[in-house]
Amino acid sequence: MVHLTINGKPVEVEEGTTILQAARKINIDIPTLCFLKDINEIGDCRICVVEVEGKRGFATACIQKVEEGMVVKTNSPAVIEARRVVLDLIISNHDRECLTCTRNGNCELQKLAEEFNITQIEYAGSRNRHEIDDLSPAIVRDFNKCILCRRCVSTCNKIQGVGAIDCTERGFDSCISTYGNKSLNDVNCTFCGQCIEACPVGALKEKDSTNEVWRKLRDEDTVVIVQTAPAVRVALGEEFGMEIGTNVKGKMVTALKRLGFDKVFDTNTGADFTIVEEGNEFLERLKNGGKLPMITSCSPGWVRYMEMNYPEVIPNLSTCKSPHQMFGALIKTYYAEKENIDPSKIFVVSVMPCIAKKFERTRDGMKSAGYDDVDAVITTRELARMIKQAHIDFVNLEDSEFDAPMGEATGAGAIFGTTGGVMEAALRTVQEKLTGNHFEKLEYEQIRGMEGIKRAKVDMNGTEVKVVVASGLKNAQTIMEEIKSGKADYQFVEIMACPGGCIMGGGQPIRTSKERANIDIKGKRASALYSIDEKSTIRKSHENPVLQKIYKEYLGEPGGHRAHELLHTSYVKRDKYKF
């Protein structure tokens, strides 16, 4: 243990602790900008500088380790002036069009400028100007707003292991760019959006689709149908100041109806179809010597990563579409026929926690009815902006239910939004189908939790099924290398591109670096989804009565010709460039 004093307060911490960590232990706040706990701890921005008695110059609190007897001042006049100068210099080369920035009001640089009373730029000089990269269907990159904090680079490299971006050039010409300064659309970017979640400013954002949705809502000749993913309902409330992990399903449905959507459906229903189809596909492979391990295909960021980096495992990937794509296909076929609506007049909007879904909907094989299965994807953040634009008092809304006949879903569909949820939902169905027995115990604790990789063995009446769950693309790489080398003998693999699963998707509410360091955001959102499952009357996908009716009336058997035509797809090898 090391003893030191910070602003006159004694504190005892373990050896190896940084000054920043020690200060936070006694509720002393030191501002940061480039710091992101366990991801980007490089001390580049210099906003966290402090004075250490007996040492010349300033120490950088996020990387400086504590020493016995150290005396630290975090808010002396010299420290405050040093931070203000650094902040002024950062802002001097920053695009300051805050009013038109998507991060206005939720920008860490903007907050610091307010706190340090930056009302004019003292060190104004030359400014770099860069073209905006908006060629991809998912991410817009505006380096004019970049502050070179490198949080996005560290996330892409250390957490996702993708390496699509890095710092190029030197000195004043330094910038965050791609291989050959290509568009993100033309390199090995997976569109997971974790860089957006890491960015403290508006240099990275999702490609906005709200204007297109507003246009369709105004068109009286268009039937606009919206579906919402499970992870959205446990995060949307955060955009309106509600507690992290609050389930706002009822308010969300009410808000969507007030926005003018003709029907509001639950993507959890689509998740139930995915489980039935995926479970059937797995059993077919298991019984008939098919390609194993079978790997889930719900996460489009993971699918794109696999197509670029591990094309040799394409035969292992389930051919199932993701839940929202399946549901879109059913809306434009089964539902359109039942309601006697011309599918060309239906416009399906998916509200997703994931920006890679914007790319996914444009893939080949996503036009089962001859039209796009899904016409627009908006993120949780985009939906929040639409609600605010319509001046809807979200917090005080009454609750509403999803519309019939496509709004009924199971608890299994709800847990799709968290790592391990797809696997658990699938096992509930597979175990009953394989053994012919009814199971009351539905929780698979061994694959729950936020660990990046979780392995388990499931005994199904003498048939041992080995499964593994991975979230985050760097962890996916570990599993892929195990499979390639022959060291693994899994039968079933679940992979999600985002660490923690969809609850931490690139389209979810953005939390500050301090919140990410001090709050278990993953745990709170995941707990809310498991709570929905526990309270559900039906908790197995294959017992969903809406699903059973559609198979009986329209699809036939799971995995049959019509089901395969509407609910399955294919994959291709993709080229890539990387640093």
CA geometry: angle at 326 spanning 287 and 224, to 5°?
170
Q: What is the pLDDT along the chain (579 residues), one digit of tens a residue?
A: 999 999 999 999 999 999 999 999 999 999 999 999 999 999 999 999 999 999 999 999 999 999 999 999 999 999 999 999 999 999 999 999 999 999 999 999 999 999 999 999 888 778 888 999 999 999 999 999 999 999 999 999 999 999 999 999 888 889 999 989 999 999 999 999 999 999 999 999 999 999 999 999 999 999 999 999 999 999 999 999 999 999 999 999 999 999 999 999 999 999 999 999 999 999 999 999 999 999 999 999 999 999 999 999 999 999 999 999 999 999 999 999 999 999 999 999 999 999 999 999 999 999 988 999 999 999 999 999 999 999 999 999 999 999 998 888 999 999 999 999 999 999 999 999 988 888 888 899 999 999 999 999 998 878 899 999 999 999 999 999 999 888 889 999 999 999 999 999 999 999 999 999 999 999 999 999 999 999 999 999 999 999 999 999 999 999 999 999 999 999 999 988 776
Note whether 209 and 351 are within 8 A (CB). no
Note whether 290 and 280 are within 8 A (CB). no
Spatial separation of the C-alpha atoms in residues 507 and 139, rounded to whole Å: 10
Spatial separation of the C-alpha atoms in residues 100 and 92, rounded to whole Å: 18
Note whether 209 and 385 are within 8 A (CB). no
CA distances from 570 to 113, 271, 312, 313, 322 (A): 49, 18, 14, 13, 12
Strands 49-52 and 223-228: unpaired
- List, in sequence order, every residue forming a beta bridge with 470; answer none if it has no partner: 453, 495
Give tens-digit pLDDT for 504-542.
Answer: 999 999 999 999 999 999 999 999 999 999 999 999 999
Strands 463-471 and 453-460: antiparallel
Fold annotation for 210-567: Rossmann fold (3.40.50)
Residues 6+ away with beta carbon under 8 Å from 173: 128
Q: Does domain 2-75 have CATH number 2.40.50.140?
A: no
Note whether 395 and 241 are within 8 A (CB). yes
b/e map of 499-538 (b: 16 or more CB within 10 Å)? Answer: bbbbbbbbbbbbbbbbebbeeebbbbbbebbbebbeebeb
Q: Does domain 92-206 have CATH number 3.30.70.20?
A: yes
pLDDT of residue 579: 64
pLDDT of residue 160: 98
Contacts 24+ apart (CB under 8 A), 107-112: 107/200, 107/201, 107/202, 108/33, 108/200, 108/201, 108/512, 108/513, 109/33, 109/147, 109/200, 109/201, 110/201, 112/31, 112/33, 112/47, 112/87
Note whether 433 and 276 are within 8 A (CB). no
The DSSP code for 552 is I
Task: Enter the pTM of the model.
Answer: 0.96
Q: Where are the domains of the chain?
A: 2-75, 92-206, 210-567
pLDDT of residue 209: 98
Give tens-digit pLDDT for 308-357.
Answer: 999 999 999 999 999 999 999 999 999 999 999 999 999 999 999 999 99
In this structure, the chain runs to a length of 579
Give tens-digit pLDDT for 449-473.
Answer: 999 999 999 988 788 999 999 999 9
pLDDT of residue 395: 98
What tokens does 504 get?
């931490």
